[in-house]
């Protein structure tokens, strides 16, 4: 429940507006916010230079962001009036949380069920597309070829899940009804969470060696970037498939390209890259690997229901600007300093 509006006019920038912008604007308008729009999210390759991003957000009380740009220590240092930065979606790896905390800026995000349920479904969709040779069969049908080789079943296969948070554990729950053996690698996850889905906690090495499908669901940190690289890919079966719907930084793309060229794994499905969009000559998108690689543009989990993520991101901004701590704060340690800083900023406003 939002606190009754104080009558103040707030300034908010939506850095990467997308097709959910009307839902955001409706909520911000009801809170008497003046809104500035940045470049559309669809222009994924048209990132802001840092000085452009800072200029766009100058004199803003709140900023709503997505996943295209980076928010650095210089960004936060250059915006003395900024109170809250609200991320649409869960991942905050492009936001310098330490710098935001040092400057007293609240960072919120939206790990809502519409996000993790949709991403789990999307992961299984990619897994099935690889197993059933969907890409190839669609192309054969299009050109009039009515016979083709067989795919494979998920039933009886071993699925390795790297990362066992909301998305990874949901994938495990869904696949437990498909007759799959499920291995999971997530060192910080309590044993009882694995037991809820019948997933077996194992080392990363064992997961890679035994799995027919490997799917990545990790939050990116400095210590786990390129978690799947040359060494790890060499552990996988020649018949195994790799799925990445987490972040491009989780995977060493060059190592994956080598593994595919040398036929050390059967194929891959990728929804994420680093950077995004990938270069046009990136072998993973040029078609070099034919039907063995499926590419989607960081949107495989996007659904109509996910308009709720945009709504919550706007609600988070309105709550924060009215002195209410939102439910999901990515840097909760900032809250005492943020409260004190908010009081000081309020005292300066006319």
CA 58 to centroid of chain Cα atoms: 27
H helices of the chain, in order, are 21-30, 50-57, 73-77, 97-102, 113-131, 134-142, 166-175, 191-197, 204-210, 230-235, 253-261, 283-286, 307-321, 335-348
27's CB contacts (< 8 A; 6+ apart) are 311, 314, 315, 318
Catalytic residue list contains 16: no
Residue 298: active-site member: yes
Of 90, 247, 253, 315, which one is the catalytic site residue? 247
Beta bridge partners of 269: 243, 294
Residues in Cβ contact with 161 at an 8 Å cutoff, skipping those fewer than 6 apart: 168, 171, 172, 182, 183, 184, 185, 186, 199, 207, 215, 217
CA distance linking residue 154 with residue 158, whole number of Å: 8
Catalytic residue flag (residue 276): yes
User: Phi/psi of residue 33, each to 5°?
Assistant: -90, 140
Q: Which of 298, 308, 311, 315 is catalytic?
A: 298
- Known catalytic residues are 247, 276, 298
């Amino acid at each position: 429940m939002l606190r009754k509006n104080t009558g103040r006019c707030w300034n908010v920038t939506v850095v990467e507006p997308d097709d959910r912008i009307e839902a955001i604007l409706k909520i911000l308008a009801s809170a008497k916010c003046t809104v500035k729009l940045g470049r559309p999210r669809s222009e994924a390759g048209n990132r802001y230079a840092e000085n452009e991003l800072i200029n766009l957000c100058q004199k803003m009380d709140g900023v709503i962001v997505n996943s295209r740009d980076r928010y650095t220590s210089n960004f936060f240092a250059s915006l003395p009036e900024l109170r809250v930065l609200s991320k649409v979606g869960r991942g905050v790896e492009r936001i310098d949380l330490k710098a935001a905390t040092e400057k007293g800026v609240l960072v919120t995000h939206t790990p809502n069920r519409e996000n993790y349920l949709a991403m789990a479904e999307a992961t299984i969709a990619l897994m099935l597309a690889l197993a059933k040779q969907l890409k190839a069969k669609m192309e054969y049908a299009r050109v009039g070829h009515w016979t083709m080789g067989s795919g494979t079943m998920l039933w009886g296969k071993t699925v390795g899940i790297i990362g066992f948070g909301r998305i990874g554990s949901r994938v495990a729950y869904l696949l437990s009804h498909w007759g799959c053996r499920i291995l999971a690698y997530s060192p910080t996850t309590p044993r009882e969470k694995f037991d809820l889905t019948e997933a077996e906690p194992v080392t990363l090495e064992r997961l890679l060696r035994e799995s027919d499908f490997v799917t990545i669901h990790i939050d990116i940190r400095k210590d786990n970037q390129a978690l799947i690289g040359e060494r790890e890919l060499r552990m996988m079966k020649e018949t195994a498939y790799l799925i990445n719907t987490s972040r491009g930084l989780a995977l060493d793309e060059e190592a994956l390209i080598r593994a595919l060229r040398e036929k050390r794994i059967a194929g891959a499905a990728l929804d994420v890259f680093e950077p995004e969009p990938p270069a046009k000559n990136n072998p993973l998108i040029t078609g070099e690997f034919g039907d063995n690689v499926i590419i989607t543009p960081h949107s495989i989990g996007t659904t109509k229901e996910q308009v709720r993520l945009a709504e919550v991101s706007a609600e988070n901004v309105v709550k924060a600007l009215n002195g209410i701590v939102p439910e999901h704060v990515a840097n909760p340690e900032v809250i005492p300093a943020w409260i004190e800083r908010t009081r000081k900023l309020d005292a300066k406003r006319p």
